[in-house]
């Protein structure tokens, strides 16, 4: 099994919303998500691995952020 990294540092804002800066991209997530690693960046966006906690259970998810999505007809 792969070694698990500690979550990245986040700024916590109103309502528990967390803000992360990963590979130069700003991610704003609900309080039940913790980004644990940057997976990559490319032409269509940046992908991170995050730990999600819901009702006492936790799971890992991938989150992709597409910046300026509405500037491209393919994304809109």
Higher pLDDT, 75 or 30: 30
Enter the tokens of residue 11: 């700024």
Q: State the average pLDDT over residues 41-62.
A: 93
Q: Residue 28: pLDDT above 60?
A: yes
Phi, psi (degrees; rounded to nearest 5) at 18: -105, 140
Answer yes or no: are the C-beta atoms of 21 and 32 closer than 8 Å: no
| Alpha carbon distance 56, 14 (integer Å) | 22
Domains defined along the chain, listed by start: 11-71 (3.30.200.20)
Percent of the chain past pLDDT 70, that is, above it, reads 84
pLDDT given for residue 2 in this prediction: 47
User: What is the β-pairing status of strands 25-29 and 18-22?
Assistant: antiparallel
């Amino acid at each position: 099994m792969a070694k698990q990294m500690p979550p990245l540092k986040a700024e916590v804002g109103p309502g528990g919303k967390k803000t992360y800066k990963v590979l130069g991209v700003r991610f704003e997530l609900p309080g039940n998500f913790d980004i644990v690693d940057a997976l990559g960046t490319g032409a269509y966006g940046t992908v991170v691995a995050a730990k999600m906690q819901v009702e006492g259970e936790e799971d890992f998810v991938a989150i992709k952020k597409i910046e300026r999505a509405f500037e491209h007809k393919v994304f809109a």
